[in-house]
Structures are given as structure tokens and as C-alpha cells.
Amino acid sequence: MIRDVAPLQGFAQLETLDLSYNQLSESALVALTMIPKLRRLDLTCNGLLSIPQAFEEMKLLESLNLEHNNLEKSDTIITLASCPRLKELNVSSNFFAEIPEEVGGGTGFPRLEWFNLSNNEIAYEEAVGFFVRLFVSSTRRTHNLHLNLCSFYPCSIFPR
């Protein structure tokens, strides 16, 4: 089980990295941001409590899997929303109760096409409504909000 990584050298061409089922520390996560061409990163089941702000510097990251961690802070979503090329984000099976409203201001997640927020603690429409409307308004975007505390999506989220 990996907990920490030394300063990463010699990985200048690495594009895909799977570090699922470990116990990575925050310093290990920061070290991952130094991989210049990283496009796909899987951090499933690492017991993560937060994502360091340094993730904003991952300019080429397109796919990030953070399912089955212990993420719940709004700051995590705000940091990830700043990743300019992120197309796929899986944060299912965490403890998010909302998507911060500042993410919906037009600059957050500029290229996001697929978003999985299933099995979190979303309990009411206002917690994600503006964000879901953003996805519904685009035919290129897909989201998954199943198995949250709310059992249905009111019609106001999905206009006819």
C-alpha cells in the first residue's frame, strides 16, 4: 500500500496513472501535480479527505476518478472546477452535500462532459440545481446523481 511518493522524476511522458486502493498522503497528491503530461488519474479508495489546491496546476488532466474516498468539503469541488481540461470527473460514493454555487458562475469546469456525483449526500435541489441545469442545457454533457438523499428530481431541474 502506497502512502507517499518521492519527488517524481523521469515521468515526463506519463499520461495515465492508476493509484487506486492505496492510502496516499496530501504530499503524495501534491507530487502527482508535477507530472507534466498526466491526462488520466485514478485515485479510487484512498481514504482522501481533501484535494490540495495544487491540483489547479494540472493543466492537461482530462479524467479524474475520486470515487470511494471521504471527500466532503466544498473547497475540493472548487479546486477541481479550476482544472481547465477536465472532461470526466467521478466523485461518487463520497460525502458531498452540495456543489458550491460559485462553480456555476461560468468559469468552473469549462470542458466537463461527464460527471458522476452518485451515492453522496445531496439532499435538496438547491444544492446542485444550477449545476444540473448547466448539464441538461448541453447535449454533450452527462451526469449521474443517483442514490443521494433526495429520492427524485423535481421538474424545475429538468425544464420541458
- Residues 67-85: tens digit of each pLDDT: 999 999 999 999 999 999 9
- The overall average pLDDT reported for the chain is 83
Q: Look up residue 61 and give its three cell numbers.
A: 488532466
In tens, the pLDDT along 91-150 reads 999 999 888 877 766 678 888 888 888 888 887 766 776 666 666 556 556 656 555 655
Among 81, 89, 141, residue whose Cα is nearest residue 115:
89
More confident call, 159 vs 18: 18
CATH architecture of 16-144: Alpha-Beta Horseshoe (3.80)
Q: How far apart are the C-alpha atoms of 111 and 61, rounded to whole Å?
A: 11
Contact between 55 and 31 (Cβ < 8 Å): no
In tens, the pLDDT along 28-47 reads 999 999 999 999 999 999 99
Cα four-point dihedral sign 73, 84, 93, 141: positive
Q: How many CA atoms lie within 13 A of 72 on its CB side?
A: 7
